[in-house]
Amino acid sequence: MAATPATNPSQLLPLELVDKCIGSRIHIVMKNDKEIVGTLLGFDDFVSILYTNGRRITKLDQILLNGNNITMLIPGGEGPEV
């Protein structure tokens, strides 16, 4: 079994899933206890995330979120009930 990163193409690549989520709601869970829900506008190689209509308890119009603290990305998620 080769140890190279040529993984089986029938599996789901993580960044492909994030890419499919562009234009939809996404719920982002940070390393600490912060979470953000919004509409995903885009992301880069380091998974910095550009959002609109972010809900972080306070409403934000657009936000460029630094990818350093992102732990999980949940497509279509609405986050916990507020």
Binding site for other proteins (CB under 8 A): 1, 3-5, 7-8, 11-18, 29-32, 47, 67-68, 70-77, 80
Q: In the bound complex, what is the minimum distance in angstroms from residue 71's beta carbon to other proteins? A: 4
Instruction: Specify the residue for token string 């949940």.
Output: 74
We find the least distance from the C-beta atom of residue 20 to other proteins, in angstroms, to be 10
- Per the DSSP assignment, residues forming a β-bridge with 63 are 51
Residue closer to other proteins, measured from CB, 6 or 59: 6
Please give the backbone phi and psi of residue 16, each rounded to the nearest 5 degrees, phi first. Answer: -65, -40
Looking at the Cβ atoms of 35 and 54, the one nearer to other proteins is: 35
Which tokens go with 8? 């089986």
Sign of CA dihedral 70, 71, 73, 78: negative
CB nearer to other proteins: give 61 or 81. Answer: 81
- State whether residue 23 is helix, strand or coil: coil
Least separation in angstroms between CB 58 and other proteins: 22
